[in-house]
Amino acid sequence: MAIKETHFQFPGQTNFYKGKVRDVYTIQDKFLVMVVSDRISAFDVVLPEPIPFKGQVLNQIAAKFLNATQDIVANWVIDVPDPSVTIGRICKPFKVEMVIRGYLAGHAWREYNAGKREVCGVKLPEGLKENDKLPEPIITPTTKASVGHDEDISREEILRRNIVSEEDYVQLEQFTRQLFARGTEMAAERGLILVDTKYEFGKADGKVILIDEIHTPDSSRYFYKDGYEELQASNEPQRQLSKEFVRKWLIENGFQGKDGQVVPEMTPEVVNSISERYIELYEHITGEAFRKVDATEPLKRIESNIREFLNRLN
């Protein structure tokens, strides 16, 4: 059974927030309990059918990479008491997402292909084609929208509007580049190329803290290293490990999140194929076999594991 939504009530619960794919419970105004559901979103729209094991895949990949980057920047995690749950400390989030790109793919390619030679204030050279490696990684931030679509924004605009102070923003850029370098190294060990990704940061006790998931297929795009050069040389699509296959399926079926468009039917076959792709992503990215958690009564299991952790806090 896939986890579509949760409606728990925990001791000391002071708030509840339902995101696109996460249900977030605030405890004692100190801790965040993040349940990673099996909901799936694309083009900023939550699709109607949940994807079995998707939440477990994302949560466990994020846990692995957050643990592997603690020497670069502290993160929000206290514990992972369940395969679909992360519990951490509350941070005040910055209202920007730090997107970093090593290759011209996805949104940046669509902008470039439409004739734009500047993305988020960063100039791009002429003569590039889809999936080409950029001369150096570029940071293309987006605003963090509470409602609706995130929007591209330049460094200059962020500072001009005082969305982030210059001192903090310099640190965000530095951490973003260091995390991307580490993610690139770890991907290379798995025969992968980390194409682009996003990081979210917050502040706690005056320190910049890394929050949310990192280096997952929902927040990142990967290519297979083997065959990359040959496919580029022959102008063929790259073999990808990312959520892009979901976006492509939607586009092929006439949906890009625009007004009046309807999400195509998600048959059991489509849902199962997406689930299998997520498990494949997990195994490629981590190099570990995926162990499906018992999904007979996931809500009971999750609630029990969270309550056990909260009892230990008291």
Q: What is the pLDDT of residues 231-246, one digit of tens each?
A: 999 999 998 887 878 9
Q: Is the pLDDT of residue 149 over 80?
A: no
Angle between helices 268-286 and 54-68 (to 10 degrees): 20
Query: Of 217 and 187, which is predicted with more confidence?
Result: 187
Question: Looking at residue 245, what is its pLDDT?
Answer: 85
Q: Is the pLDDT of residue 145 over 90?
A: no
Question: Looking at residue 148, what is its pLDDT?
Answer: 57
Question: Looking at residue 299, what is its pLDDT?
Answer: 96
Segment holding 160, helix H or strand E: helix 155-160
Question: Looking at residue 291, what is its pLDDT?
Answer: 96
Q: Is the pLDDT of residue 22 over 90?
A: yes
Question: Would you report the helix, strand and coil content of the chain in percent, each value rounded to 5?
Answer: 35, 25, 40
Residue found by looking up tokens 């619960």 in the block = 13
Q: What's 263's DSSP letter?
A: P
Q: Is the pLDDT of residue 266 over 70?
A: yes
Rg of the chain taking only CA atoms, in angstroms? 19
Query: What integer best gives the mean pLDDT of the chain?
Result: 94
Burial class (CB in 10 A: 0-12, 13-18, 19+), 206: exposed
Q: Where are the domains of the chain?
A: 93-242
Q: Is the pLDDT of residue 272 over 80?
A: yes
pLDDT classification of 314: cutoffs 50, 70, 90: low
pLDDT classification of 150: cutoffs 50, 70, 90: confident
Q: Is the pLDDT of residue 221 over 80?
A: yes
CATH number of the domain at 93-242, please? 3.30.470.20
- CA 288 to CA 20: how far, in whole Å? 27
Whether 287 and 190 have beta carbons less than 8 Å apart is answered as yes
Q: Is the pLDDT of residue 94 over 60?
A: yes
Question: Looking at residue 147, what is its pLDDT?
Answer: 55
The dihedral sign for the CA sequence 161, 156, 257, 260 = positive
Whether 241 and 187 have beta carbons less than 8 Å apart is answered as no
Q: Is the pLDDT of residue 44 over 90?
A: no
Q: What's 172's DSSP letter?
A: H
- CA 78 to CA 34: how far, in whole Å? 11
Q: How many CB atoms lie within 10 A of CB 244?
A: 19
